Amino acid sequence: MTVQREIVATPTLPQDLAANPVLSRWVTVHSDGTIDVRVGKVELGQGILTALAQIAAEELGVDIEQVRMPPANTARGPNEGQTSGSMSIIHSGSAVRAACAQVRAKFAAEAARGWDVDPDRVTVRQGVFRCDERAVSYGELAGLVDLDVAADPGAPLTSGDRSVLVGMSAARLDLPDKIAGRPRYIHDLALPGQLSGRVLRPPSPEARLLRVDESRLADLDVRLVRDGSFVGVVGADEAETMRAVKVLGDATTWEESDSLPDEDDLSAFLRSGPHETVEVLTPEGPEPEGRTISATYSRPFLAHGSMAPSCGIARWNDDGTLSVWSHSQGIHGLRAAIAQALDIDAERIEVEHAENAGCYGHNGADDAAFDAVLLAREVPGRPVQVQWSRQDELAWSPLASAMTADVRAVVDESGSVLSWRYDVWSQGHTSRPGYLGVPGLLAGAYLEQPWSYPAPGDPPAAAGAGTVRNGVPIYDFPDRGVTGHRLLETPIRTSAMRALGAYMNVFAIESFMDELALSAGADPLEYRLRHLGDARARSVLEAAARSAGWETPMEEGVGLGLGFARYKDKGAYCAVIAEVEAESDIRLRRLTIAVDVGRVVNPDGVRNQIEGGATQAASWTLKERVRFDRRRITSDDWESYPILRFSEAPEVFVEIVETPGAPSVGAGEAAQGPTAAAIANAVAAAIGVRVRDLPLTADAVVAAIEAAEG
């Protein structure tokens, strides 16, 4: 069962408003003047709610302080699907803009009616409608205006004022609480009567529970919950449930088997098939004659590594309904998946979003919510909060797939590309709840009546694809072939993580562009521009080069490297220049970034997202690799899965290149791929050796040097 949204044929309304046309779903005006704006998008640490509040305030003609953004809720707010893929600001922003414009028009009309004047003469500023000497506020009109009506497809999509708030850097609405240390996250919720729950994950993915020695728990004040190989405890005291789950580890007997591939030969695993083959670009004929250059690149499995382990809360209510609190990216999808997994009516389930630490894709959030649902079923009427451990978070959340790619080009005498062939192998990049026709919730696979899960899939091309996202180079090559190969059988659960396949594809394409430039004896920037007609692309590349001092000669052992892409082919343009010092170790000194996101809603928000995205991509590129043996994931803490530290974080400079009039696009995922390529290219520039397999650790560099000398 997937969540199907009815497509309403009102092309003049933004898609999310057309799907949720009743205005009161979006906006409630209270008599004290505060205005609730409900959206289906959720705060993942990216500042989306602040950006949407800014848009709402601008359209309503109120100060941003007057706007409240309640958490997304399946029962009360609009359904806007997932918060992912950098599309939130596009979809939700235009819906909020249109809905708020209509609300404002209704209030202005009511004011005009009261004064018996033409509505066109009524203005609104700071929440007060005025005409001549008369004035009335939103709050005073609240009882008189009915918002339980459908949005008018013929109404203007915006009030059309000059942007006052949009384009300014509004301070994030959620940061005062977070910086003061006030309760704000799902971990901090303490509902009346709340109990604590812990789940004992199996020792390995294929393990099946044979026996539980319940007597071992006799001294502990907890209740044991078991359903097949799913086992956990519930109790009043969190510290006690933590002790209990430890004891439970020793009190359980499991049957285990080896199921994982050889971590040292992931390329063979990814290429072994069976595959689904996706021809993105089919070449028109055989490759031309000429000099042929080829290379193979790879990246390992990666973990989300959110700073907060996943958490979920559930309560089975006395009337048979179920309440769930989750930091899911898609509360409606989660609701449908829980309903399917337990064969209950989705209408009886209400899911409310609760914030957690930064989320970079489909992590363990939904799984933790389902754990809570299963444990809470044993204690009706009581909310149960399930807290994952760090080890479970790193070993049991869906991973980002390992990938490998072959690139081949035929070039003319000047070294310019005559033909381009690209093949990429990967597991699928999504197994979100409900996506593959199954609930997709971790615990479901371990129940007495288990769900079996198909191999991860890929989003359709219209949604940006997965394995082949950004697989098509932006350059004007005369003859191109691009093919994706998605693995159809795998024991490893992978799903969406920031940028999906784009991180690897851009790393491979842009690394190879540098290899081609080198073999043509050309400057990498000039070589790219030579193949690049897109004017916005050119100005972003040139802006990055200018601010990084691309022409400046570097000292010995220091290199500059360039990486560039337009995210998802139609999103943000982003050029990254890395400055790397490579001596005994690799030190990433600086990232200089130019980005074009179209119309800028919140410049500091864009900068923060790009800085954060690039820094995280630097961590993936320089350090990260999920480790496993043939049975289980072994990189389950911050020592075995190291990430970038303060002393390793590069200085990041972000320049926003404005393209007036171009629609806004998201910034959150634009820098991932270009950053990886820029670092690899900078290392090659610094020491003359190319590393094609991530991560780019000191060991990998030594291995590459040895291979080159080999």
**CB contact at 8 A, 391 and 310:** no
Q: Give the largest CA-CA distance in the chain.
A: 89
Where does this chain touch another protein (CB under 8 A) — which range of 64-72, 108-116, 180-188, 285-293?
180-188
**C-alpha–C-alpha distance, residues 558 and 56, integer Å:** 47
Where does this chain touch another protein (CB under 8 A) — which range of 27-35, 553-561, 562-570, 646-654?
646-654
Binder of residue 305, out of ligand FES, another protein, none (CB less than 5 to 8 A by kind) = another protein
41: tokens are 């998008």
Q: How far is the CB of 357 from ligand FES (least distance, A)?
A: 6
Where does this chain touch another protein (CB under 8 A) — which range of 25-33, 207-215, 239-247, 268-276?
239-247
Q: How far is the CB of 307 from ligand FES (least distance, A)?
A: 4
Binder of residue 179, out of another protein, ligand FES, none (CB less than 5 to 8 A by kind) = another protein
Residue with tokens 């044993």: 378
Q: Which of 450, 489, 491, 493 shows the shortest CA–CA distance to 258?
A: 491
Binder of residue 182, out of ligand FES, another protein, none (CB less than 5 to 8 A by kind) = another protein
**C-alpha–C-alpha distance, residues 199 and 702, integer Å:** 42
Pairing of strands 291-299, 403-411: antiparallel
Residues β-bridged to residue 400: 302
**CB contact at 8 A, 358 and 310:** no
Binding flag, residue 387, another protein (CB under 8 A): yes
Q: How far is the CB of 355 from ligand FES (least distance, A)?
A: 11
Binding flag, residue 193, another protein (CB under 8 A): no
Binding flag, residue 467, another protein (CB under 8 A): no
Q: How far is the CB of 667 from ligand FES (least distance, A)?
A: 16
Binding flag, residue 211, another protein (CB under 8 A): no
Position among 187, 275, 429, 692 found at the interface with another protein (CB under 8 A)? 187
What's the DSSP call for residue 454? Answer: P
Where does this chain touch another protein (CB under 8 A) — which range of 343-351, 354-362, 579-587, 627-635?
354-362
Burial of 623 (C-beta count, 10 Å sphere; 0-12/13-18/19+): middle
Q: Which of 318, 285, 304, 336 shows the shortest CA–CA distance to 5?
A: 336
Question: Which of 239, 462 has the CB closer to another protein?
Answer: 239
Question: Which of 106, 198 has the CB closer to another protein?
Answer: 198
User: Which of helix, strand or coil describes residue 515?
Assistant: helix
Question: Which of 306, 495 has the CB closer to ligand FES?
Answer: 306
Q: Can you say whether the dihedral through the CA atoms of 80, 571, 509, 679 is positive or negative?
A: negative
Give residues in contact with ligand FES (CB under 6 A).
45, 307, 357-358
Encoded one letter per residue, x for contact with another protein by CB under 8 A and - for no contact, window 17-56 reads ---------------------------xxxx---------
**CB contact at 8 A, 656 and 608:** no
DSSP for 640-666?
TS----GGGPPEEEEEEPP-TTSPP--
Q: How far is the CB of 179 from ligand FES (least distance, A)?
A: 10
Residue 198 φ/ψ, nearest 5 degrees: -140, 145
**C-alpha–C-alpha distance, residues 243 and 706, integer Å:** 49
Which residues contribute to the site for another protein (CB under 8 A)?
44-47, 169, 171-172, 174-176, 178-185, 187-188, 190, 237-240, 242-243, 305-309, 355-360, 387, 389-390, 604, 608-609, 611-616, 618-619, 637-639, 643-647, 649-652
